[in-house]
Amino acid sequence: MAKEKNAEFIIANDPDADRLAVAVPDAQGNWKSLHGNVVGCFLGWYLAKQYQGKQGTLACSLVSSPALAEIAKKYGFQSEETLTVSNISVKYLTYCLVLKKIGLFS
């Protein structure tokens, strides 16, 4: 379907939305999956560009690529490494704190 619709990318998640997959077409039109570090860097880059000139922090887990720290540095943000945590209540709390920080949740 993505080829038929000439899609720029594909995003899919599992039923409880705790995992995400992204694919993009290569030069021949074949779909290639992006690994999590690449997706994280694209998202970080996009947000850093959107909020350039404001204060903020880009954070990633200790097992992620150091590239996000370079993106943060380029756009004037701080960067932090965090522990990898799979506890749903901690994820929810972190999500709420991030949304509150950017003004989307109170």
- The predicted-structure confidence for 47-61, as pLDDT tens digits, reads as follows 899 999 888 888 888
Give the whole-angstrom CA distance, residue 79 versus residue 60. Answer: 8
pLDDT digits (tens, 9 = 90+) for 42-101: 888 998 999 998 888 888 887 777 898 999 999 998 888 877 655 444 444 444 444 445
Long-range contacts of the stretch 15-19 (C-beta < 8 A, 24+) = 18/91
Chain mean position to CA 38? 8
Half-sphere exposure in the Cβ direction for 51 (13 Å, CA): 19
Give me 106's structure tokens: 């109170």
